[in-house]
Structure 1
Amino acid sequence: MYVCICKGITDSQIRTTVEDGASSMREVCNTLGIASQCGKCGQHAKQIIQETIHAASTADPQFYAL
Structure 2
Amino acid sequence: MFICICNALSDSELKDAIAQGHGSVDDVYRACGAERQCGCCAENIAEMMREHRDDNWAIPDGEGRVVAA
Q: Structure 2 length as normaliser, TM-score?
A: 0.70
**Letter of the aligned partner of 1:49 in structure 2?**
M
- Segments of structure 1 that go 5 or more residues without pairing to the other structure are 61-66
Q: Per chain length, whose mean CA-contact separation is higher, i.e. which structure has more relative contact order (CA < 8 Å, sep 6+)?
A: 1
Cross-structure match for 2:53: 53
Q: Which has the higher helix share?
A: 1
Cross-structure match for 1:64: none
Q: How far does the alpha carbon of each residue in 1:13-32 deviate from its partner, in whole angstroms, 9 at most, with x for none? A: 11111212212213112212
Question: What is the root-mean-square deviation in Å for CA atoms of aligned residues?
Answer: 1.6
Structure 1 moving runs of 4+ over 6 Å: none
Cross-structure match for 1:37: 37
Q: Structure 1 length as normaliser, TM-score?
A: 0.72
Aligned length: 59
Amino-acid identity (%): 24
